[in-house]
């Protein structure tokens, strides 16, 4: 009789686990995601910065798994897990499992200040990417319209909270966009006057990289007009800017690239989690006492061979997903489980359109070679052929023309006659 | 001294008027649009049907006009026009003009029943296109999840109100998508059971075309699974479907492709308008008594040589925009104005991915030749090189694979911690 495998989450870990199990005659797979698409998250900042469109970095899950007859895909929410009964509760019914794979990912964390979210969107999904794009482009449009110079300065000020790869990529993109792409198309403002700040609480940005690379990245950012403030913890965020201890920056656009925390569901399962809510797993990525429940991707807290937890990165999630798939298949053949071993593929971060830093074990380098490496790796890992070809061409166009052509401000509100509006439709909101 | 020309609206009419006036030493042009992009509206239905992405059919206005030193672009709203003082009130200040060009377009019209809008989105802007795409894809996802067969039938029922080109294009796309594209990727539903209705109040669809073409189009739609109901006026729309006199269809998705009406601003100017609010203009496209105020595009009611009003179509708007630009330049050279003459470029409508109808004066044809004509014309008129190349490639991909790859359901709500939500983020809403 076939074993029922339920996978929650269609990101890197869930998708790759599903693919390993695809078309195997002894398993029936159900994959559930709250979205209908798989998102290539490492490129979200390109959508936020209008260099790529949403459709370039996301593909419908059904398409990606259509070739596997034994995989059913549902768009839905998982509300609860009953590990004794081996069932999950979804918003479309209860599903029983023989094996459960939770790979729900993480969301942004405001250190207990959830009211800051309104003023400082994060960057973990497509809706946020388009919201960020909207805010950045609206800021320039508003600056072009106003004659109030103090207001204009505030509109041309961007604060990115958090100096990890995401924050650095966002800041570098805004720097490049303001110094190059936008510089000739405004008649009343000089986009080169844009102030961009990275505000990082630790003593250096890119803390997971070698200090030498952090230092070089800081210099590259400064050349693009980004001011890097380290040892600077944000104490408050409001509609007019950020407070950093006794210091203050007035900015109409604040972006959150700081903490993340695992999805809620882990907390309700009565299992041990780390400070960010990530579920602490055994060496075979299962919950202690429940060898049939696997956790993969950012939601899992996996200890590296050297004792530190594995970072929440795409290559880690991919390897964990594949491992989970193979381990389940191994179970069905009666094999003993081996512990998960992460093959360190290094880490990378881009700064602007032709600089990057790459660190692979003891090898570290930056500059154009690093950027080329970054491009090649990202295109390779984009998971459909169509995306590889098209995204490559979009990038090529963007590279040669600094186009950022996808700079569309699309209203959230599609209605004309919504009751909150009188007179003019499409009233501007932030 | 330079004359100040203010153009309100960056659609086909406004954009082409601006281009004629671009880089002329005797005019200073200000173009204002509530959006920051120019939208190629004839392809909106392709975004709604997930064959193209937003960025494929829209380009930032600044880019398109960046080469003209004498053109300033502002994103903003025009609230009022004072024709005596020759000023306009915007949401960023008052602007004086020597010449004013109003080309604000139209919006959907629910015949006095604005509360229907919630249940039946129209298709005049990008936000609506993505809303429609979301609703259509959500309907299939919900159908896949449910075991209630009556509920499933309702979810797999789509009603398009209005049998003009837009309605026919939407219906044909859903027909094709359900019978081909989606047919193999669902495990629990048969998308071919999708019911699609076009509900048209007149006695035939495509009333502006020759009756013979209407008839052929109807047959092509039926082959794609679309049921065409003529002499059927919708009397009510609610969350569960539509009422047509004594008949009723239960549908979870209703789309509005029926009446349009001109933007509000015309009504507040004390000028004569037609029943749809379109401003009635002289033979030189100006308001009677105000030769310095031009109206172009869908917002204008222009009488054809044969006595009927010109339709609200892209080729009409393009010609009017160019005419307005040239007329203003002619004024400055002291030339007498000539009346506007529309060079009839015919009309077209597609049905599915390889059928269309084309009517050019006395020439009418359908089938694959018509579809090729449609493709060529649309690609030609897409206004930037990048768009031509990329959209052509997207279409080619779509054509050979029936991919509809841009089928992303992106949430409207980007926040995780919004106050209306408890527990699970991204709670499903319609």
The CA distance from B122 to A417, in Å, is 11
Confidence band for A97, pLDDT divided at 50, 70 and 90? very high
Q: Nearest-CA residue of chain A relative to B53?
A: A55
pLDDT, greater one: B366 or A336? A336
A131:B63 CB<8 A: no
pLDDT > 50? residue A422: no
Q: What tokens appear for A395 in the block?
A: 């990038």
The CA distance from A244 to A109, in Å, is 18
Query: From the list B55, B117, B397, which residue is nearest A416 (CB)?
Result: B117
Q: What tokens appear for B242 in the block?
A: 């539509």
A306 C-beta neighbours (distance < 10 Å), count: 6
Whether A184 contacts B66, CB under 8 Å: yes
| pLDDT number for residue B190 | 92
Percentage with pLDDT > 90 across chain A: 65
The CA distance from A422 to B69, in Å, is 36
Mean pLDDT of B370-375: 82
Q: How far is A394 from chain B (nearest CA, A)?
A: 9
Whether A342 contacts A318, CB under 8 Å: no
Exposure of A94 by Cβ count < 10 A (0-12 exposed, 13-18 middle, 19+ buried)? exposed
- pLDDT tens digits, B14-24: 999 999 999 99
pLDDT > 80? residue B415: no
B417:A58 CB<8 A: no
- Average pLDDT score, chain B: 88
Q: Kindly state whether A409 is in contact with chain B, defined as any CB-CB distance less than 8 angstroms.
A: yes
A385-401 vs B385-401: helix crossing angle, rounded to 10: 180
Mean pLDDT of B96-117: 93
| pLDDT number for residue B242 | 96
pLDDT > 80? residue A389: no
B390:A386 CB<8 A: no
pLDDT > 90? residue B387: no
Q: Kindly state whether B427 is in contact with chain A, defined as any CB-CB distance less than 8 angstroms.
A: yes
Confidence band for B393, pLDDT divided at 50, 70 and 90? low
Q: What tokens appear for A28 in the block?
A: 């029936």
Whether B291 contacts B330, CB under 8 Å: no
Q: Active-site residue among A28, A169, A220, A320?
A: A169
Question: Residue A227 contacts by C-beta under 8 Å, 6 or more apart in sequence?
Answer: A195, A196, A197, A198
The CA distance from A34 to A17, in Å, is 17
- pLDDT tens digits, B118-145: 999 999 999 999 999 999 999 999 999 9
| pLDDT number for residue A301 | 94
pLDDT, greater one: A116 or B415? A116
Angle A117-B37-A351 (CA atoms, 0-180°, nearest 5)? Answer: 55
Mean pLDDT of A124-131: 91
Residues of A in contact with B428 (CB under 8 A): 77, 91
pTM: 0.86
- pLDDT tens digits, B51-77: 888 887 888 899 889 999 999 999 999
Whether A404 contacts A183, CB under 8 Å: no
Mean pLDDT of B83-111: 95
- Average pLDDT score, chain A: 88
A169 as an active site residue: the answer is yes
Percentage with pLDDT > 70 across chain B: 89
3-state SS assignment for residue B236: strand
Q: Kindly state whether A429 is in contact with chain B, defined as any CB-CB distance less than 8 angstroms.
A: no
Query: From the list A36, A73, A184, which residue is nearest B66 (CB)?
Result: A184
Interface of A with B in 45-104 (CB under 8 A): 53-56, 58-60, 62-63, 66, 72-77, 79, 91-93
Question: Residue A148 contacts by C-beta under 8 Å, 6 or more apart in sequence?
Answer: none
pLDDT > 50? residue B408: yes
Residues of B in contact with A410 (CB under 8 A): 54, 126-127, 130
Mean pLDDT of A225-248: 95
Give the distance from CA A147 to its chain's centroid.
Answer: 37
Give the distance from CA B355 to its chain's centroid.
Answer: 20
Instruction: Pick from A37, A54, A414, A418 the residue to mutate for testing the B interface (most B CBs within 10 Å).
Output: A414
Residues of B in contact with A418 (CB under 8 A): 117
Least confident of A23-32, A189-198, A259-268: A259-268
Instruction: Cite the DSSP H helix spans in A333-421.
Output: 368-381, 385-401
Relative to beta strand A37-39, strand A58-60 is: antiparallel
The CA distance from B382 to B39, in Å, is 10
Neighbouring-strand partners of residue A106: A262
Question: Residue A385 contacts by C-beta under 8 Å, 6 or more apart in sequence?
Answer: none
| pLDDT number for residue A426 | 37
| pLDDT number for residue B384 | 52
Confidence band for B296, pLDDT divided at 50, 70 and 90? very high
- pLDDT tens digits, A270-300: 899 988 899 999 999 999 999 999 999 999 9
Q: Kindly state whether A394 is in contact with chain B, defined as any CB-CB distance less than 8 angstroms.
A: yes
Confidence band for A186, pLDDT divided at 50, 70 and 90? very high
Confidence band for B361, pLDDT divided at 50, 70 and 90? confident
Question: Residue B385 contacts by C-beta under 8 Å, 6 or more apart in sequence?
Answer: none
- pLDDT tens digits, B239-286: 999 999 999 999 999 999 998 888 877 778 889 999 889 999 999 999
Whether A152 contacts A331, CB under 8 Å: no
| pLDDT number for residue A140 | 96
3-state SS assignment for residue B378: helix
The CA distance from B254 to B108, in Å, is 14
B56:A53 CB<8 A: yes
Q: What tokens appear for A150 in the block?
A: 């103090």
3-state SS assignment for residue A243: strand
Confidence band for A16, pLDDT divided at 50, 70 and 90? very high
Q: What tokens appear for A117 in the block?
A: 């979210």
The CA distance from A18 to A47, in Å, is 27
B424:A264 CB<8 A: yes
Q: How far is A365 from chain B (nearest CA, A)?
A: 34
Q: How many CB pairs below 8 Å do chains A and B form together?
A: 191
Q: Of B336, B350, B339, B53, nearest to A53 (Cα)?
A: B53
Buried (b) or exposed (e) across A340-370, using 16+ Cβ within 10 A?
Answer: beeebeebbbbbbbebbbbbeeeebebeeeb
Exposure of B408 by Cβ count < 10 A (0-12 exposed, 13-18 middle, 19+ buried)? buried
Q: Kindly state whether B118 is in contact with chain A, defined as any CB-CB distance less than 8 angstroms.
A: yes
Q: Kindly state whether A388 is in contact with chain B, defined as any CB-CB distance less than 8 angstroms.
A: no
Whether A415 contacts B106, CB under 8 Å: no
pLDDT > 90? residue B11: yes
| pLDDT number for residue A393 | 65
């Amino acid at each position: 009789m076939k074993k029922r495998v339920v996978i929650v989450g269609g990101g890197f870990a869930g998708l790759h686990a599903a693919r390993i199990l695809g078309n195997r005659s002894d398993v029936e797979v159900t994959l559930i995601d709250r979205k209908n698409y798989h998102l290539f998250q490492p490129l979200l900042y390109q959508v936020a910065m209008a260099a790529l469109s949403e459709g370039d970095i996301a593909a419908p899950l059904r398409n990606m798994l259509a070739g596997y007859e034994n995989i059913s895909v549902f768009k839905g929410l998982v509300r609860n897990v009953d590990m004794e009964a081996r069932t999950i509760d979804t918003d479309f019914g209860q599903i029983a499992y023989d094996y459960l794979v939770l790979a729900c990912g993480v969301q942004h964390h405001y250190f207990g200040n959830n009211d800051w979210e309104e003023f400082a969107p994060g960057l973990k999904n497509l809706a946020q990417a388009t919201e960020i794009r909207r805010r950045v482009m609206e800021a320039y449009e508003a600056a072009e319209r106003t004659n109030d110079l103090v207001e204009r300065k505030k509109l041309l000020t961007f604060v990115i909270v958090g100096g990890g790869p995401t924050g650095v990529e966002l800041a570098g993109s805004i720097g490049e966009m303001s110094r190059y792409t936008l510089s000739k198309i405004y008649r009343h403002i000089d986009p080169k006057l844009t102030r961009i700040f990275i505000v990082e609480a630790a003593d250096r940005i890119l803390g997971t990289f070698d200090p030498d690379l952090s230092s070089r990245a800081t210099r590259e950012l400064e050349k693009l007009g980004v001011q890097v403030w380290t040892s600077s913890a944000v104490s408050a965020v409001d509609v007019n800017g950020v407070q950093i201890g006794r210091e203050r920056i007035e900015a109409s656009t604040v972006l959150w690239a700081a903490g993340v925390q695992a999805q809620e569901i882990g907390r309700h399962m009565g299992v041990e989690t780390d400070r960010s809510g990530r579920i602490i797993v055994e060496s075979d990525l299962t919950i202690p006492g429940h060898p049939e429940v696997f956790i993969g991707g950012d939601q899992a807290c996996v200890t590296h061979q050297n004792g530190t937890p594995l970072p929440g990165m795409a290559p880690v999630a991919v390897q964990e997903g594949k491992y989970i798939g193979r381990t389940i298949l191994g179970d069905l053949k009666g094999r003993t489980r081996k512990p998960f071993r992460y093959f360190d593929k290094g880490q990378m971060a881009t700064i602007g359109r032709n600089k990057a830093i790459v660190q692979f074990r003891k090898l570290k380098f930056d500059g154009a070679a690093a950027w080329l490496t970054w491009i090649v790796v990202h295109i390779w890992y984009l998971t459909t052929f169509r995306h590889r070809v098209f995204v490559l061409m979009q990038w090529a166009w963007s590279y040669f023309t600094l186009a950022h052509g996808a700079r569309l401000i699309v209203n959230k509100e599609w209605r004309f006659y919504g009751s909150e509006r009188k007179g003019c439709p499409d009233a501007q909101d932030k």
